[in-house]
């Protein structure tokens, strides 16, 4: 006996959840995705062409604007014809990346360093929430219920593995690239360097004004410490031993002009400008300029020393990986580990290239090989990032003489001076005394 229809229609869920259970999205779903996509696209365009950082030009971020906007427009065009799983994946990816970019604005507000571009980024937070809600609802309403239990288990396991690989190989590296190229500035703090210092402005060859602090030399030699905010303790150590010290903010950090790049791409020009500035100082003798960099600053010291004859000796502490060009330089990982990691490194490199407009720099192993006859001292912490030991050993092996390497017992990442202050000072000062002053 058949049961007649009651004629009652179950209402669709409200808000972002109002999606079609079939292959095609409902009107509310399409509208929600379109509005959120438009918010993202407008923010990208404003960030690239309206809210330009001081000293920078609009041409620097053409790729950073056109490629994401083109991808978003293409996705919006195809969205109504996508199956539920693809629509959900697209919404979730854009939602997560929107929250990452919006979170940067929240962090900047907490630091008191809001830039004009951060105001439009606040709109990415609600857009990200809506997109994630949309993606979750599509997955729930479009899930397949047919087939055997074994088939459903296998299918979900494969989908779960694919999702994990996508997150690891695509979502994480793109998120890291966004953070690395949009990192909010830290306020510059007044510090005690042991002797009076002067605030200085140094102009790069591309016209950016970089901020720094300089303590005049007492022994005819000077050392650039990079970045300024991380190296104040090292600067005090050098000042106590008579060295002039130039603490420099990289482009996009502190009070320097330009866009930030947490991977240091392009900052060789910053150190080159600092070397040229010191070469014009009466208190610094010819051939007596050195450098000390921590983490990404150490990486920039390696690259600069490989191309700038004026930088006679450098200390690099905590250097790591900054692009896919160092992926297979690592010493220790198995081939399987390298192959699993390489796609992430490659995607991150491509994302940083697009978002920053900077060409990927040469491999640090290649740069290390070009330093000699100038001197280099590699330092890394025993308890620092695992990748430090994997990379500093091959960097050291590639470099010519004179060179040194030291694994600091018990030290974390760039924490050698805290873990072993007396030995750290003895080793670093002896290195600069020998290479810059000619004393043993």
Q: List pLDDT tens digits, range 83-92.
A: 999 999 999 9
C-alpha span between 367 and 313 (Å, rounded)? 14
Predicted confidence band of residue 23 (pLDDT cuts 50, 70, 90): low
Q: Tokens 């810059």 — which residue? A: 436
Give pLDDT, residue 147: 67
Which of 79, 190, 180, 95 lies closest to 133 in space, CA to CA? 95
Give pLDDT, residue 427: 98
Per-residue pLDDT reduced to its tens digit, 230-267: 999 999 999 999 999 999 999 999 999 999 999 999 99
DSSP codes joined into one string, 181-228: HHPPPPPPPP---SS--EEEEEE-TTS-EEEEEEE--SSS-EEEEESG
- pLDDT exceeds cutoff 70 at 286: yes
Which of 88, 104, 68 lies closest to 143 in space, CA to CA? 88
Q: What angle do CA 102, 183, 103 make, to 5 degrees?
A: 20
C-alpha span between 175 and 81 (Å, rounded)? 27
Sign of the CA dihedral running 35, 37, 40, 43: negative
In the predicted model, what is the mean pLDDT of residues 65-75? 94
C-alpha span between 29 and 9 (Å, rounded)? 19
Per-residue pLDDT reduced to its tens digit, 395-410: 999 999 999 999 999 9
- pLDDT exceeds cutoff 50 at 20: no
C-alpha span between 220 and 283 (Å, rounded)? 6
C-alpha span between 235 and 120 (Å, rounded)? 38
H helices then E strands: how many in the chain? 15, 8
Mark out the alpha helices in 255-382 (DSSP H runs).
Answer: 268-279, 296-305, 335-356, 364-369
C-alpha span between 90 and 222 (Å, rounded)? 53
Chain-centre distance for alpha carbon 220:
36
Long-range contacts at 428-432 (CB < 8 A, ≥ 24 apart): 428/234, 428/237, 428/292, 428/315, 428/377, 429/237, 429/238, 429/241, 431/313, 431/315, 431/375, 431/377, 431/404, 432/221, 432/223, 432/238, 432/243, 432/290, 432/313, 432/315
Q: Tokens 């309206």 — which residue? A: 50
Give pLDDT, residue 317: 98
Q: Which residues contact 395 (CB under 8 A, 6 or more apart)?
A: 302, 316, 319, 329, 364, 365, 368, 378
Predicted confidence band of residue 145 (pLDDT cuts 50, 70, 90): low
Helix (H) or strand (E) holding 162: helix 149-166
C-alpha span between 94 and 124 (Å, rounded)? 10
- pLDDT exceeds cutoff 70 at 146: no
Per DSSP, the three-state class of 231 is: coil
φ, ψ of residue 302 in degrees (nearest 5): -65, -50
- pLDDT exceeds cutoff 90 at 15: no
Predicted confidence band of residue 347 (pLDDT cuts 50, 70, 90): very high
CB-hemisphere CA count at 13 Å for 189? 9
Task: Yes or no: say if 409 and 383 are a contact pair by the CB < 8 Å rule.
Answer: no
pTM attached to this predicted model: 0.90
Per-residue pLDDT reduced to its tens digit, 315-334: 999 999 999 999 999 988 88
């Amino acid at each position: 006996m058949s049961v007649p229809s009651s004629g009652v229609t179950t209402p669709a869920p409200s808000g972002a959840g109002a999606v079609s259970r079939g292959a095609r999205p409902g009107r509310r779903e399409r509208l929600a995705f379109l509005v959120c996509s438009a918010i993202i696209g407008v923010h990208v365009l404003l960030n690239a062409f309206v809210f330009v950082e001081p000293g920078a030009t609009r041409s620097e971020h053409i790729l950073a604007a056109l490629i994401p906007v083109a991808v978003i427009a293409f996705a919006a065009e195809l969205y109504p014809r996508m199956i539920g799983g693809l629509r959900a994946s697209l919404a979730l990816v854009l939602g997560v990346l929107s929250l990452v970019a919006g979170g940067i604005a929240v962090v900047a507000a907490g630091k008191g360093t809001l830039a004009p571009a951060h105001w439009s980024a606040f709109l990415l937070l609600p857009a990200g929430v809506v997109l994630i809600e949309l993606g979750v609802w599509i997955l729930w309403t479009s899930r397949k219920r047919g087939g055997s239990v074994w088939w459903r288990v296998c299918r979900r396991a494969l989908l779960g593995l694919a999702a994990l690989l996508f997150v690891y190989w695509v979502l994480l590296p793109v998120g890291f690239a966004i953070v690395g190229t949009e990192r909010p500035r830290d306020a510059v703090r007044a510090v005690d360097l042991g002797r009076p210092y002067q605030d200085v402005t140094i102009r790069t060859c591309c016209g950016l004004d970089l901020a720094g602090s300089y303590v005049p030399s007492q022994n005819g030699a000077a050392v650039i410490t990079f970045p300024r905010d991380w190296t104040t303790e090292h600067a005090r150590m050098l000042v106590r031993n008579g060295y002039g010290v130039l603490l420099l903010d990289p482009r996009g950090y502190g009070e320097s002009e330009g866009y930030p790049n947490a991977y240091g791409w392009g900052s060789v020009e910053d150190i080159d400008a600092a070397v040229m500035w010191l070469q014009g100082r009466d208190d610094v003798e010819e051939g007596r300029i050195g450098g000390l960099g921590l983490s990404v600053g150490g990486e920039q010291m390696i690259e600069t020393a490989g191309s700038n004859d004026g930088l006679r000796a450098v200390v690099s502490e905590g250097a790591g990986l900054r692009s896919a060009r160092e992926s297979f330089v690592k010493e220790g990982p198995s081939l399987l580990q390298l192959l699993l990691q390489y796609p992430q490194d490659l995607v991150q490199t491509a994302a940083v290239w697009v978002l920053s407009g900077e060409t990927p720099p040469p491999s640090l192993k290649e740069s290390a090989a070009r330093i000699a006859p100038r001197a280099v001292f590699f330092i890394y912490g025993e308890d620092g990032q695992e990748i430090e030991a994997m990379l500093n050993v091959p960097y050291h092996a590639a470099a010519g003489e004179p060179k040194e390497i030291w694994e600091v017992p018990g030290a974390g990442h760039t924490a050698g001076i805290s873990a072993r202050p007396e030995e750290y000072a003895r080793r670093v000062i002896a290195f600069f005394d020998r290479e810059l002053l000619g004393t043993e």
